């Protein structure tokens, strides 16, 4: 039981490049989330999904896209990377979407230069 797995662990992008951050969970959780963590700012929700085929915007969605074709996978797409997207990205999942603990992956450290 691996929990939430994120790849890659690290990535450096040039301005304007695109990439996909991968996230997969093996706990059969319906709810999945993408957060970014910046120093002194706390975790901010980018997008979330309540099940396969259903996604919705969080607090800071601009510059990102997501899809959820299966229960297990929730990739985050960055189009036209900008320096402001330099951050640590965390994927999380939970069972009920309400009053249940979030299970986090170990993050992807992204630098855009």
Task: Name the site residues for other proteins (rule: CB under 8 A).
Answer: 4, 31, 33, 40-45, 48, 56, 58, 90, 92, 94, 97-102, 104-107
> Smaller CB distance to other proteins: residue 28 or 42?
42
Q: What is the C-alpha to C-alpha distance for residues 89 and 6, in angstroms, rounded to an integer?
A: 9
Rounded to a whole number of angstroms, the minimum distance from the CB of residue 57 to other proteins is 10
> Smaller CB distance to other proteins: residue 87 or 107?
107
> Smaller CB distance to other proteins: residue 54 or 80?
54
Residue 95 token pair: 């069972």
Rounded to a whole number of angstroms, the minimum distance from the CB of residue 112 to other proteins is 20
Q: In 3D, which of 39, 59, 38, 37 has the Cα closest to residue 47? A: 59
Rounded to a whole number of angstroms, the minimum distance from the CB of residue 63 to other proteins is 19
């Amino acid at each position: 039981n691996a929990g939430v797995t994120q790849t890659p662990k690290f990535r450096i992008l040039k301005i304007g490049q695109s990439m996909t951050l991968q996230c997969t969970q093996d706990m059969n959780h319906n709810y999945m989330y993408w957060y970014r963590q910046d120093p002194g700012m706390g975790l901010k929700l980018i997008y979330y999904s309540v099940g396969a085929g259903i996604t919705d915007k969080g607090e800071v969605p601009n510059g990102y896209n997501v899809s959820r074709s299966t229960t297990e996978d929730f990739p985050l797409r960055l189009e036209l990377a900008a320096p402001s997207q330099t951050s640590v990205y965390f994927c999380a999942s939970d069972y009920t979407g309400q009053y249940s603990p979030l299970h986090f992956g170990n993050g992807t450290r992204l630098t855009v230069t």
